[in-house]
Amino acid sequence: MWGSGMSTETAEEPAGKAGGGPGPSVRMSVFALMIAVMLAMLDNMIVGTAMPTIVGELGGLEHLSWVVTAYTLTTAASTPLWGKIGDMYGRKGVFLTSIVVFLAGSVASGAAQTMSQLIGFRALQGLGAGGLMVGAMAIMGELVPPRERGKYMGMMAGVMSLAMIGGPLVGGTLTDHLGWRWAFYINVPLGGIALVMVVTLLHLPRRRAKGSIDYTGAVLLTTGITSAVLVTSWGGTEYDWSSSVIIGLSVLALAAVVAFLVVERRAAEPVLPLGIFRSRNFSLMALIGFLLGFVMFGAMTFLPLYQQSVQGASATNSGLLLLPVLLPMMVVSVTTGRATTRTGRYRAYPVIGGALIPVGLFLLAQLDVGTSRTTSALYMMVLGAGMGFLMQLTMLIAQNSVELKDMGVASSTTTLFRTIGGSFGVALMGTLFADRVRETMTERAGAAAGGGPSGGGGTPAQLDAASLERLPAQVREAYEHAVADGTHTVFLVAAVTALLMFVATWFVKEVPLKGGEPAAEDETEPTPEPEGTVSPV
């Protein structure tokens, strides 16, 4: 057995060959999982490029943010529930269900006739997306022993990077030649392939739940997550941070989380077993995942804006703009994954990544109007390499810290912390960026241009190179300096935040990965058992 402390009813061997690594059927199953992950990653990247056309046809510009918020909200809120239900009732059926829900939401979104319909169908699509990533990671955790898992997670990181690069290009091509509805319909053939492969190739042990779902805990957790995501989505944009709506949502989120913790301590079958946080490594991976999401999503949001507004890059090739980040991230993820599989050692990689990320962010904080594309690309490569050391290892270490029966909860919790971190990061950095742009515009172009080129609500617009060329020279120059100053601010904040992540990586304990060469019994860190679990003698 590679999981310690298993109960007799959930102790299962991974589906790979004993001592010989995963067989061909397992590798094909992992390939199907990668297609499902690509579905979730591609969707937002493709839809983003289609949004201007969608608004032009359906109208409802004032509700545009909800097209994104509805998807993000249901994805985040459903993530822990998909993980727990998979643990209780078996991962295959739950994973197939999430694919079907995602595809139904995709088809409905493509057929939407109004902006309200699109928002509702995007919420359905996000509900399914919440189970795609978690299901894929949890199934991989059951199929492949931790010692072999590193190289597959490295490949998964490569698929994610490929989706981030190709998504905008595919989205632009589909929108221009087939229409924006195909930005959603494209999910159907990919999802169909994944469904067929999962049904025919994936074989997992059947599992029966001993108890019922903790509905009270599920409602409280959903309420807390929903309120927190709305605070980060609306704060500083739809409403002022000091408004009654934001303060009320913040209080509701805090109250729901406190009540959730009380309920989970007493629940017979908790949605989120608090015992898993007794593992130091798991708790550290949750914290590191939150901080990684904070700095990563912020960087991915503001780097293209700087390149388009200051360096004159084309918005249509927005995926290619991030190549200096994504390629090193992909290469390092695959390399470290294979090295982890070969040696069974991993502690050095989070520390190296934790050091490179703040260095890369401090370098990016030096960007200004005179920085060349070559220089900025080199800075981006440092950041990308750092993220490559951490992206998939956080999931691997988290999964290695829990029992096999809690694999879904561990995967969903790690994903959730990264998602929430990303929401907080984008919201906070967006507010800081907008404030700094307004200040610089006022200083350089005068009070008349203090708002800068702006969209609705006085928020500085994200102008592309063509739009900037049409501005008066004084305003254009002021805006370029404003964006550079705003970029400096957000990357400086991200760099300071990343230093906390670097400190956290030093406390990670080297717990040998099981499933490869046998490890001495006394080298393993005992996994905490939930109350009531009886270990086999």
333 phi, psi to nearest 5 deg: -60, -45
For every residue of 317-337, DSSP letters joined together read GHHHHTHHHHHHHHHHHHHHH
| Total number of residues shown for the chain | 537
Q: Which residue has the higher pLDDT, 375 or 318?
A: 375
Contact 471/434 with Cβ under 8 angstroms? no
Q: Which residue has the higher pLDDT, 536 or 255?
A: 255
Please give the structure tokens belonging to residue 317. Answer: 């090739």
Q: Tell me the per-residue pLDDT of 199-233, one tens digit each, with 9 for 90 and over.
A: 887 777 666 555 677 788 888 988 888 888 788 77
Q: Which residue has the higher pLDDT, 499 or 477?
A: 499
pLDDT of residue 460: 44
How far separated are the first and last CA of the chain, in Å rounded?
13
Contact 315/443 with Cβ under 8 angstroms? no
> Treating both helix axes as pointing N-terminal to C-terminal, what angle do 407-445 and 473-505 enclose, rounded to 10 degrees?
150
The Cα–Cα gap between 154 and 160 comes to 10
In this predicted structure, the answer to whether residue 458 has a pLDDT above a threshold of 60 is no
R_g of the chain, CA atoms, integer Å: 23
Q: Which residue in 463, 285, 465, 501 sits closest to 383, CA to CA?
A: 501
pLDDT of residue 13: 40
Please give the structure tokens belonging to residue 481. Answer: 């300096």
Q: Supply the mean pLDDT for the chain.
A: 76
In this predicted structure, the answer to whether residue 376 has a pLDDT above a threshold of 80 is yes
**Coil/strand/helix, residue 454:** strand
Q: Which residue in 496, 144, 109 sits closest to 337, CA to CA?
A: 144
For every residue of 49-62, DSSP letters joined together read HHHHHHHHHH--GG
Identical topology for domains 24-208 and 273-448+466-511? yes
Question: Lowest-pLDDT range, 105-114, 171-180, 368-377, 491-500?
Answer: 171-180
The predicted model gives 394-402 an average pLDDT of 82
Provide the whole-model pTM: 0.73
The Cα–Cα gap between 81 and 393 comes to 23
Q: Which residue has the higher pLDDT, 463 or 363?
A: 363
Q: Which fold has domain 273-448+466-511?
A: Growth Hormone; Chain: A; (1.20.1250)
Which sequence spans correspond to the domains of the chain?
Answer: 24-208, 212-271, 273-448+466-511
The Cα–Cα gap between 56 and 51 comes to 9
DSSP 224: H
Q: How confident is the model at residue 468 (pLDDT cuts 50, 70, 90)?
A: low
Between the alpha carbon of residue 85 and those of residues 31, 78, 97, the distances in Å are: 23, 11, 11
CA dihedral 262, 268, 273, 278 (to 10 degrees): 80
Contact 184/171 with Cβ under 8 angstroms? no
Given the structure tokens 């074989």, which residue do they identify? Answer: 203
> Treating both helix axes as pointing N-terminal to C-terminal, what angle do 373-390 and 348-364 enclose, rounded to 10 degrees?
150
In this predicted structure, the answer to whether residue 328 has a pLDDT above a threshold of 70 is yes
**Which residue type, as a one-letter code, is found at position 459?**
T
The Cα–Cα gap between 21 and 253 comes to 44
The predicted model gives 476-487 an average pLDDT of 82
Question: Lowest-pLDDT range, 28-37, 369-378, 510-519?
Answer: 510-519
Distance of CA 242 to the CA centre of its chain: 28
pLDDT of residue 79: 83
Q: Which fold has domain 24-208?
A: Growth Hormone; Chain: A; (1.20.1250)
The Cα–Cα gap between 527 and 507 comes to 17
pLDDT of residue 409: 78
The Cα–Cα gap between 121 and 117 comes to 6
Alpha helices by DSSP H, listed for 186-322, are 187-201, 215-234, 244-266, 280-309, 318-321
**Which residue type, as a one-letter code, is found at position 242?**
S
Please give the structure tokens belonging to residue 207. Answer: 């599992």
> In the beta sheet, which residues pair with residue 239?
235
Contact 350/390 with Cβ under 8 angstroms? yes
Q: Tell me the per-residue pLDDT of 244-277, one tens digit each, with 9 for 90 and over.
A: 999 999 999 999 999 999 988 888 778 778 888 8
pLDDT of residue 497: 92
